[in-house]
Structure 1
Amino acid sequence: MLAFISVFLITYVLFSLSGILFPTDLAYYADLKKPDWNPPKQLFGIVWGIIYALISLSVAIVYLDTSGFKEASIFYLVILLINYVANQAFVFIEFKLKNPSLAFLDTAIVAVTTALLIYFTVPYSTLAAWLLVPYLLWSCFATVLAHTIFKLNE
């Protein structure tokens, strides 16, 4: 149980890191043209907090089911790493580089790698895979939103 809790907490902290390292530039975001269906800014933190918890649960389950990732496929581990890096890169790209086109590309990478992560998680645990579905749905929504913001601000 200690290993499960440790992996959960480490994963949660790692996925939350970009928000700490690269705080959202609220003034920049407020100045961007956004679609009418853009969610309220308060919703983003709540949704990501829940999604990071679900990702962390999924990773902890796979960790236990694969003897500490020793039996996990290289594909699962590589996709998890790419997904993590792309997820972390978004805040830097959007709010430090202020590059909506690259932010859109990054969200697309997150969505695709999330779908792949679900696929590569199924052999270990269907529950762990299902825990990633909200992440996929939100990532797809974020991709459409990022594309719309990019197009409105070119």
Structure 2
Amino acid sequence: MGFFDESICECCVCPMQRVLMQLRGETVSIDTTSDEGFEITVDDAKNFILFTSDEFNNEFFFPICNITAVEFPSTNQIDLSPSKTSFKGECSCCEDPANRLLNRLSKNTSFNFIYLDTNINGFIIDIGEGIVIIQDELDATILKAISICKLAKILPSTPVI
């Protein structure tokens, strides 16, 4: 992604932009630092901005740094950037250790992923630089790409009875 790899944005904003670029034209639900479950259509993602529209063709713009997660249908294949180790800045003290931990967790076990006021029980589908993709435990047709930098807790999931 060019200069992304050498910026402070490389471990969370750039990977989320990469996910959003692959969802162009799709209707998805995004969680931001201030709102949850905002349904939009991804028009474009570039220059660290998500360009969107809603069902009424109202245009919205979101700074990608404020997007914590994006929920999308499991029919979409998302290609994540490979994980890498950073040697300075926020990536080395926040994203790198959480990424290593996620890579050690079993993909056959359900976990409760908590970020902001949101939590989702699910299975790890994929992990890349700055992003973990979770399959919802209750609805396998839903995937959620969560910014690893925004994760607050990862707990063993409590079985749903």
Fold-level similarity (TM above 0.5): no
Kindly indicate which of the two structures has a greater share of residues assigned to strand.
2
Kindly indicate which of the two structures has a greater share of residues assigned to helix.
1
The structure with more radius of gyration: 1
What TM-score do you get using the length of structure 2 for normalisation?
A: 0.29
What TM-score do you get using the length of structure 1 for normalisation?
A: 0.30
State the structure with bigger RCO (CA 8 A, min sep 6), 1 or 2. Answer: 1
